[in-house]
Amino acid sequence: MKKNLEQLSPFELSLYLEDLHNSEQASKEWLNAGRGNPNWTAPIPREAYFLLGQFATQETYIHGRDRLGSKSMNTIGRDKRFDEFLKPKESLGATLLRKIWNASADVLGMPASEWLTYMLDYLIGDNYPHPERVLPGCEHPIKQYLQQKLFDDRSAPFDIFAVEGGTAGIVYTFNSFISNHLLEPGDKIAMMTPTFAPYLEIPDLPEYQFDVEYVRSKSMDYDGKVSYQFPKEELDKLRSPDIKAVFVVNPSNPTATAINDESITQLKAIIEEDNPELMIISDDVYGTFLKKFHSLFTEIPYNTVCIYSYSKYFGATGWRIGTISVAKDNIFDKKLQELNGPVDEKIDSRYHIIDSTPKNIRFIDRMVADSRLVALNHTAGLSAPQQAMMTIFSLYALLDEGENFKNDVMSLCRKRGNLLYESLGLTYPLESLNTAYYCEINFDWWLTKRFGEEFRDYIIDTFTMTEIVSRLAQEERVNLLKAEAFGSSEWTVRISLANLDTPKYAEIGLRITQLMTRLFQEWYGNQFA
């Protein structure tokens, strides 16, 4: 049965077109720029991780038998055995592991020998993660990484919950808001758009049914460079105390743009002057793709839950590793302490099985419990091997080689973006605020610039964006995502700059231009028929 393509979500449409054209024989290569999965990895920390796992496995043999290793690994002489294990190995991963082994307690959070004992246990993975929120050998390096790459030295002291990627972080946060009556079904919240399409669907779920106010960014010109930013009048919507929470992806997906300093200053003023109890959920997954990034968590820590994932930066989407950060002093704990009456009693009864004084349980620890429906709290926490991988990624980024990796990733994405924009006859956006992980192309604006206003009007009157995306797939074998479902305008597409070989991006621009040139020629010819 033929599908009604107009009714499909952008991801459904993308998958449908991919399945349709994968079955066809064609002379042109299929270029799928709708995928957000990067085509790079970080091999050095992975190699270090697996070498450490190899050593951990060797240690289980010391007091074990061939098929039954010993969980109780012998610490006597371990430092020497580890040195001997590393000595003959000359790979980049081994070099990193030696750097980590020789790192100071300030970096590791404890003496290296103690850290090694923890990590070997985590890699063997024969324990429930404990404490559930984040493991002791992992917490300090991960917090150091977040502090250096997303926050700065001004950041307030904070706690983290290690979770299964950014998506889990979002789900856990919203669920705990509801479970603790910080938000009630039907409450008014704000969504800063454009944003990742599935996030726009969360408020409509039956258990939430939030009343949503959309705070919309728009394309702004800065000395010939484009940046999507929030007009003052849009941000001023957040001054209303009726808005209990605001959700933002910063830098944005799909525009790839970070919120500028002026808007952050305005947000701080809004909270100080008009809406001091506004709760902020900030998804900062793409912040590490900028040279300097100002997280809302740095500027407004008291009101902000910060979500981060290692997936995109390290090419680790399948690992499912990320964090939730909450300041030690925060609005969420304050609001919990202010609850009283039947609601407070109901919440106390929810958590009484894990603490005889449930009133004292902090919001971040309630998230941990809620992630396992409270009753299974003892099994909560991200798996120990996953936390160990996150720790090695963090330490890699904290050492000198990690900065080189960051420069390589940024350079790669920007090179791809420049190739695409040049092939479309466009100027690359403002680099200081643009991650170059995605880009958003506005066909309305581009068609006017490239072919003129009359042809633009013809395309918009004659076709839909779905039809243009479908024709690009059918005739040019290029797969793009419609961006309307991300909260962008009807005539925009999202192009991933992460998942294809670099030269392909000039080809994508060429193929888009070829399709529109054919349509232009048909239209122009009909003018004189």
Q: Which residues pair with 216 in a beta bridge?
A: 193
Three-state DSSP at 161 gives strand
353 sits in which H/E element: none
Name the amino acid, one letter, at 69.
G
Q: What is the pLDDT of residue 1?
A: 35
Question: Is the pLDDT reported for residue 528 higher than 70?
Answer: no
Contacts of 215 (CB under 8 A, 6+ apart): 190, 191, 192, 193, 230, 234, 235, 237, 238, 246
Q: What are phi and psi of 415, to 5 degrees?
A: -60, -45
* pLDDT tens-digit series, residues 195-241: 988 889 888 889 899 999 999 999 888 877 889 999 999 999 999 99
Using alpha carbons, select from 138, 486, 441, 433 the residue that is nearest to residue 287.
433
pLDDT band per the 50, 70, 90 thresholds, residue 64: low
Task: Provide the CATH topology of domain 136-396.
Answer: Aspartate Aminotransferase; domain 2 (3.40.640)
3 exposed, middle or buried (CB, 10 Å; 0-12, 13-18, 19+)?
Answer: exposed
Take residue 274 and report the two structure tokens written for it: 């008009």
Query: What pLDDT does residue 9 have?
Result: 73
Nearest one of 119, 438, 103, 102 to 255, comparing CA atoms: 438
Average pLDDT in the 35-49 region?
Answer: 95
Is the pLDDT reported for residue 2 higher than 50?
no
Per residue in 66-110, pLDDT tens? 778 877 777 889 999 999 999 999 999 999 999 999 999 999 999
Percent of the chain scored above 90 by pLDDT?
A: 83
Q: Which residues, listed in sequence order, are joined to residue 492 by a DSSP beta bridge?
A: 442
Burial annotation 59-96 (CB, 10 A radius, 16+ → b, else e): bbeeeeeeeebeeebeeeebeeebeebbeeeeeebbbb
Alpha carbon distance, N-terminus to C-terminus of the chain: 37
Residue 506 clears pLDDT 50, i.e. is over it: yes
Sorted by where each begins, the domain ranges of the chain are: 5-32+403-526, 43-127, 136-396
Torsion, Cα 462 468 474 478, to 10 degrees, reads 160
Task: Note the pLDDT of residue 477.
Answer: 95
Q: Examine the pLDDT at 63 and tell me if it is beyond 90.
A: no
DSSP 8-state symbol, 276? T
Dist CA 446 CA 427 (whole Å)? 11
Give the confidence band of 19 by pLDDT, cuts at 50, 70, 90.
Answer: confident
Question: Which pLDDT value is given to residue 4?
Answer: 78
Q: Report whether 497 contacts 410 (CB < 8 A).
A: no
Kindly report, residue by residue over 446-504, the tens digit of the pLDDT. 999 999 999 999 999 999 999 999 999 999 999 999 999 899 999 999 999 999 999 99
Per-residue three-class SS string for 237-273: HHHCCCEEEEEEECCCCCCCECCCHHHHHHHHHHHHH
Does 141 score more than 90 pLDDT?
Answer: yes
Distance CA 197, CA 369 (A): 28
pTM (2 decimals)? 0.94
Q: Going by DSSP bridges, is the β-strand pair 481-482/492-496 parallel, antiparallel, or unpaired?
A: antiparallel
CATH number among 3.40.50.300, 1.10.357.10, 3.90.1150.10, 3.40.50.620, domain 5-32+403-526: 3.90.1150.10
Of 367, 492, 366, 477, give the one whose Cα is nearest residue 438: 492
Mean pLDDT on 44-57 = 97
Q: Give the model confidence (pLDDT) of 366-409 as tens digits.
A: 999 999 999 999 999 999 999 999 999 999 999 978 899 999 99
Query: Could you say which DSSP state residue 28 is in?
Result: S
* Res 281: pLDDT: 97
pLDDT given at position 152: 86
Coarse DSSP helix, strand, coil percentages of the chain, rounded to the nearest 5 percent? 50, 15, 35
At 40, which amino acid appears? Answer: W
What's the whole-number average pLDDT of the chain? 93
Q: Which fold has domain 43-127?
A: Histone, subunit A (1.10.20)
Distance CA 151, CA 141 (A): 14
pLDDT per residue over 261-313, tens digit each?
A: 999 999 999 999 999 999 999 999 999 999 999 899 999 999 999 999 999 99
pLDDT of residue 66: 74
Phi, psi of 388 (to 5 degrees): -65, -40
